[in-house]
Amino acid sequence: MAEWIEACAAGDIDEEDVMRFDHAGRTFAVYRSPDDEYFATDGLCTHERVHLADGLVMDDIIECPKHNGRFNYKTGAAKGAPVCVNLKTYPVKVTAGKVLIEIE
């Protein structure tokens, strides 16, 4: 059953940046966009098992630190080689200064 889990405080992530969040043996990436919205995806790249939180956020793109594969972190869409498989995304809300993500 899906539940809302607190990932971090809203101020923990800089604008246009990403942070790693581990929960129950899983790893996620939580993003703050340049227009101050929050998003969440699986934490590992779909090409190889590399943490996206070490990558670079540019507008609505997260670039993987290993081979520079790019995803749209808002939709999870893979944007071309070497990433071919989309990222799973998760609903996010900000409540009382906390970033919550909905995880099954």
Q: Does the footprint of ligand FES cover residue 45 (CB under 6 A)?
A: yes
Instruction: Spell 33-60 as b/e; 16+ CB within 10 A means b.
Output: beeeebbbbbbbbbbeebbbbebebeeb
Nearer to ligand FES (CB atom), residue 10 or residue 77? 77
Residue of the chain from 13, 30, 53, 83 that contacts ligand FES (CB under 6 A): 83
Nearer to ligand FES (CB atom), residue 12 or residue 86? 86
Gyration radius (Cα) of the chain, Å: 13
Minimum distance between the CB of residue 57 and ligand FES, rounded to whole angstroms? 14
